[in-house]
Structure 1
Amino acid sequence: MNRTTRHLGHRARPVLGRSGVALCRIGWLALALAVPSARADDWLTGAPLARQLASPVDVAWSGSPLRPSLERLARAQRVAILLDRRVDPDRPIELRLLDAPLADVFEELAAREGLGVTLCDGVVYVGPPETARKLRTLSALKTEEARGLPAAVSRKALARAAMRWEDFATP
């Protein structure tokens, strides 16, 4: 198993509880911030997302700001990307990959820029390496914990809803 499949291709084993579920929901909510014109139902999930992450793409970024580059990639590939607010969205990036799997694009970008990347609940998270390492495991743990709650509480904790907000909105 290579680094890409470890972070973007395989499921994490359940370990924690409800805060991980909330954390991934925050990711979905933050998509409006990363790609304002996209709707939650425009993003690929499940098997279609896995196929897209394995599909070859060409990327040529030379001095391009990070956020607009990720926004274009997200729209073109229909892959939800969350850029952590602790990462400078205007930092110039250098990356040229031809016919590379989309998952490798994220991994290579993260490696070159000193970032972390992981797939969490259908969202590609790009942020500080330590946060990326913990995020998916925490989410799996919290999801498993929520499944162990009484049925009504579990349904509410695991329910999904599309949400959005404007750039620079107060949290």
Structure 2
Amino acid sequence: MKTLTILLLYLGIPAGEPSSFYTGKELKTSLATNVRWVSIGSELGDQLRDLQTQTNVAILRDRRLDPHRRINVETEFVPRVQVLKQISATIPGAALCITEDCACIGPSDAIYRLPILLSSNAEQLHGLRTKIDTTALRRLTVKVDASWEQLAEPRQILLDHAQTAGVVITNPDAIPHDVWAQQRLPQMSFAHLTTLILNQFDLTFEIATDRAELTIVQIDSEDAIEHRYPVGSTFKATVVNAWQQQAPNLEIRWTGSNATVTTTLRQHILLNAALHAAWNSGSNSDATLMTQEGSIRTRNFQLKAERATIGQLIVFFRTEKIRIEVRDEDSAEVTAILLEPVQLDTRAGKQAGEKLFPLIFGKHFKTVDVRDDRVVLSQE
């Protein structure tokens, strides 16, 4: 599990220079930013390009969605991810998922299986570490420029990127002919890019056990795959109920609020759809962005705070998109608390959020409620 190490000296931390496209944590932060969106009668492709420009997040439209489809979306101030959800909701049978590298919109089955395929193919590579030589493994995992030009053919896109990475595709003709619009994506591994492209044709790949070579194969919906779902404690009961209705004999291994399930890819699609339905029905507008290390309760933190006040620490957490709600924040009593110095042994090691936040704020606020998506502080 990743650890957020926080170093706070007075007023905060200098931000790094932005990359061409945000990925990982920066991606989730950008999509969590509130905007008001009004677009009436605009084409799908234009709306996605506008969002991509505003967010600095790559948005991949599945080839099966018509970019010229005219859609109407009008929102109040909501997280950008909600705008994407509403755009996908205007298209029958479409869905949205967020990966570490981009946002993807397309037919629901393809979208809900994509995270499972990305994870499964990553595990396939991980399992080859002791079988394949270092050079071959590096060719499959090294990050490459994942963009392509207008009117590019997906077969040629993969062949060009394979040549750059030093990877051999044994059967490129398995990729049907198509012509795609220009697309810019962040750098990613060749294996990751290949998954994103092949999924749009209901294809995936198998890697040779002794060299940097892959063979394109049809996706088998009956393949048994182990996958870990970052459910979150807020949604656990709802998700368990939905999953049990779909598959009464489903075996689930829980680690905190994360569920590990081994079942067919076909069943995983249904489970992931149910999970997204639970997230979307909840009050947490950022639930789509939750990752295995995304729950504040279970995520590890290491705090090094010197000469910082409670207010400065809260501001810093908020800039890191760790949601801190302070009840009656404008009251005189709370204003005085925000000026108090942090009272914490900074020599403490890594601790889960559910333990650390009460240690930080418990001496100052009567109630410290640590949830998956936020920390609520109050004097009640």
The TM-score normalised by the length of structure 2 is 0.33
Q: Superposition pairs for residues 20-169 of structure 1, below 5 Å?
A: 41-114=19-92, 115-150=94-129, 152=134, 153-169=136-152
Superposed displacement of residue 98, structure 1: 1.9
The structure with more helix, counted as a fraction of residues: 1
- Separation of aligned partners in 2, 1:79 and 1:161: 17
- Separation of aligned partners in 2, 1:148 and 1:57: 42
Superposed displacement of residue 119, structure 1: 1.4
Instruction: Name the aligned partner's letter for residue 167 of structure 1.
Output: Q
Task: State whether residues 65 and 92 of structure 1, in contact with CA within 8 Å, keep that contact through their aligned partners in structure 2.
Answer: yes
1:21 corresponds in structure 2 to none
Runs of 4+ deviating beyond 4 Å: none
Task: State whether residues 147 and 154 of structure 1, in contact with CA within 8 Å, keep that contact through their aligned partners in structure 2.
Answer: no
Instruction: Name the aligned partner's letter for residue 92 of structure 1.
Output: R
* Structural RMSD (CA): 1.5
Superposed displacement of residue 148, structure 1: 1.9
Q: Deviations over 1:34-69 (max 9, x none)?
A: xxxxxxx51101111111111111111100000011
- Separation of aligned partners in 2, 1:142 and 1:154: 13
Q: If you compute each CA radius of gyration, which structure gives the higher value, 1 or 2?
A: 2
Greater RCO, 1 or 2 (C-alpha within 8 Å, sep 6+): 1
Instruction: Name the aligned partner's letter for residue 150 of structure 2.
Output: D
Task: State whether residues 36 and 78 of structure 2, in contact with CA within 8 Å, keep that contact through their aligned partners in structure 1.
Answer: yes
Task: State whether residues 43 and 70 of structure 2, in contact with CA within 8 Å, keep that contact through their aligned partners in structure 1.
Answer: yes
- Separation of aligned partners in 2, 1:121 and 1:159: 16
- Separation of aligned partners in 1, 2:76 and 2:97: 22
Task: State whether residues 80 and 122 of structure 1, in contact with CA within 8 Å, keep that contact through their aligned partners in structure 2.
Answer: yes
Task: State whether residues 148 and 154 of structure 1, in contact with CA within 8 Å, keep that contact through their aligned partners in structure 2.
Answer: no
- Separation of aligned partners in 2, 1:137 and 1:74: 24
- Separation of aligned partners in 2, 1:123 and 1:163: 12
108-117 or 150-159, which deviates more: 150-159
Task: State whether residues 24 and 101 of structure 2, in contact with CA within 8 Å, keep that contact through their aligned partners in structure 1.
Answer: yes
Structure 1 unaligned segments of length 5 or more: list them.
1-40
Task: State whether residues 125 and 132 of structure 1, in contact with CA within 8 Å, keep that contact through their aligned partners in structure 2.
Answer: yes
**SS of equivalent residue, structure 1 residue 144:** helix
Instruction: Name the aligned partner's letter for residue 120 of structure 1.
Output: T
**SS of equivalent residue, structure 1 residue 89:** coil
Instruction: Name the aligned partner's letter for residue 126 of structure 1.
Output: I
Q: Deviations over 1:89-116 (max 9, x none)?
A: 0000110112111111111221222211
Superposed displacement of residue 155, structure 1: 2.7
Superposed displacement of residue 121, structure 1: 3.3
2:313 corresponds in structure 1 to none
How many residues are aligned here?
131
Superposed displacement of residue 75, structure 1: 0.7
Superposed displacement of residue 154, structure 1: 3.2
- Separation of aligned partners in 2, 1:130 and 1:69: 23
**SS of equivalent residue, structure 2 residue 72:** strand
Instruction: Name the aligned partner's letter for residue 161 of structure 1.
Output: V
**SS of equivalent residue, structure 2 residue 39:** strand
- Separation of aligned partners in 1, 2:102 and 2:20: 12
Question: Percent identity over the alignment?
Answer: 28
Task: State whether residues 38 and 75 of structure 2, in contact with CA within 8 Å, keep that contact through their aligned partners in structure 1.
Answer: yes
- Separation of aligned partners in 1, 2:123 and 2:100: 13
Superposed displacement of residue 127, structure 1: 0.8
